[in-house]
Amino acid sequence: MNTQRHERSTPSTDNNEEVSEQLSQEHFHLIKTMLYDTAGITLADHKRNMAHNRIAKRIKELNIPCFDDYISYLNKHQEEEISNLVNALTTNVTHFFREQHHFEHIKQETAALLKAGQTKIRIWSAGCSIGAEPYSTAITLYDLQQSLGIRADIKILATDIDTTALETARNRKYPERNIKGLSKEHLNKHFTTACINGENFYKLKDHVRNMVSFNYLNLNETKWPMKGPFDFIFCRNVFIYFDREKQLEYVDKMTDLLKTGGYLLLGHSEHFAAENVKYKTCGQTTYQKISD
C-alpha cells in the first residue's frame, strides 16, 4: 500500500493529468533497484519527479489508473515491461556533431591510417541514442574518403539499450528540432526532405545509412557479443549514468575490444579513463590505448 502519496506537491508535468497521485518513496526505491539491476543505471534521488513524469506517461499508455497497479503489472510482466521502463527512464539527449573536436580527431586519424595502407576501419558507438553520433561519424568518413579519392571498408556499429531510440535511428528521419549541428552543406549533400503531416523531416541518404548497423546492447550484460577489435570506440555521455564500479568495469571491457593504438572517446565530464594505465590522453576526452 502506498502510504506516502501526498508527501510532496504534485510534480509539474506535461502528460500526467490522470495520474495525480505521487510516486511514493517506496515505489521509487523499487524502480531505482530494478533500473540498476537491469541497466546498471543509478537514478539519483533528485530524479524522483522526472521518474514520476515519465512513468505516468507509460501508465497512461497502458491505461492503468495508478502507480500501485503499475507496480503489480510490472511484477507480473517483468520480462516485457522492464524494457519499456528502461526506455522511459533513459535520457537520450544528443545532437549531430556534438563535441566537434572528436569528429576532427577521427577524420585526421582515419586519414593517417588510410594513407599508411590500412583498408579496414572499425568503429563502435556505444549508447548511440537516436543515431546522431554514428551518423555524424559516417558523414565525416564518407566526406573524407571522397576528398582522398579512395573507397575503404569502413563500418560503424551503433548500439543502445533503448529500443525506441534505436527505432528512430534505424528510420533515419529527423524533424527540424533534431538537426542541430548539421550544416546546410551536410543537409543538402546527405539528406532528402519530406513534409509529413505539415512537419518538415530530413531523411538521411542510403550512402551514409549503409555505413552504420544498429543493434540492441545493454552494457550491463555480462557478455558482449562483439569481438572487435575497433579502431575507435565512442562512449560519450553514457558513463555519467553509472556508478564508479560499473564505469571501471565497462571501460575495462571496452579496452579489451580496442586495438592498441586505437582511441576511446568519452563525454566532456567523463575523465576517468585518464587514470587507466593502458591509456594516454590525446586532447579533450580523447584517450589512446598504448598497451594491451
Ligand X SMILES: C[S@@+](CC[C@H](N)C(=O)[O-])C[C@H]1O[C@@H](n2cnc3c(N)ncnc32)[C@H](O)[C@@H]1O
Active site residues: 54, 160
Cell numbers of 111, please? 586519414
- DSSP state, residue 45: G
Cβ closer to ligand X: 48 or 236?
236
Q: Rule CB under 6 A: is residue 42 a binding residue for ligand X?
A: no
**What does DSSP say about strands 191-196 and 258-266: parallel, antiparallel, or unpaired?**
unpaired
Residues numbered 102-121 forming contacts with ligand X, rule: CB under 6 A: none
Q: Rule CB under 6 A: is residue 231 a binding residue for ligand X?
A: no
How buried is 17 (Cβ within 10 angstroms: 0-12 exposed, 13-18 middle, 19+ buried)?
exposed
Per the CB < 8 A criterion, the answer to whether 31 and 15 are in contact is: no
How many CB atoms are closer than 10 A to CB 4?
14
Give the total of residues touching ligand X (CB under 6 A): 25
- DSSP state, residue 17: T
Cα separation, 88 vs 54, in Å, equals 6
For 271, what's the count of Cα atoms within 13 Å in the CB-facing half-sphere? 3
Cα separation, 62 vs 98, in Å, equals 35
Cβ closer to ligand X: 127 or 262?
127
Q: Rule CB under 6 A: is residue 32 a binding residue for ligand X?
A: no
- Shortest distance, position 269 Cβ to ligand X, whole Å: 11
- Chain centroid to CA 107: how far? 21
**What does DSSP say about strands 173-175 and 199-204: parallel, antiparallel, or unpaired?**
antiparallel
Cβ closer to ligand X: 114 or 267?
267
How many CB atoms are closer than 10 A to CB 213?
13
- Shortest distance, position 213 Cβ to ligand X, whole Å: 16
- Taking residues 132 to 171 in sequence order and writing x for each that binds ligand X by CB under 6 A, - otherwise, the string is -x--------------------------xxx--x------
- Shortest distance, position 78 Cβ to ligand X, whole Å: 17
Q: Rule CB under 6 A: is residue 40 a binding residue for ligand X?
A: yes
Cβ closer to ligand X: 41 or 74?
41
**Closest by alpha carbon to 114, among 157, 156, 158, 149?**
149
Binds ligand X by CB under 6 A, chosen from 24, 53, 237, 247: 237
- Shortest distance, position 163 Cβ to ligand X, whole Å: 9
- Shortest distance, position 220 Cβ to ligand X, whole Å: 5
Per CB under 6 A, residues contacting ligand X are: 39-41, 90-94, 98, 127, 129, 133, 160-162, 165, 217-220, 236-238, 241, 267
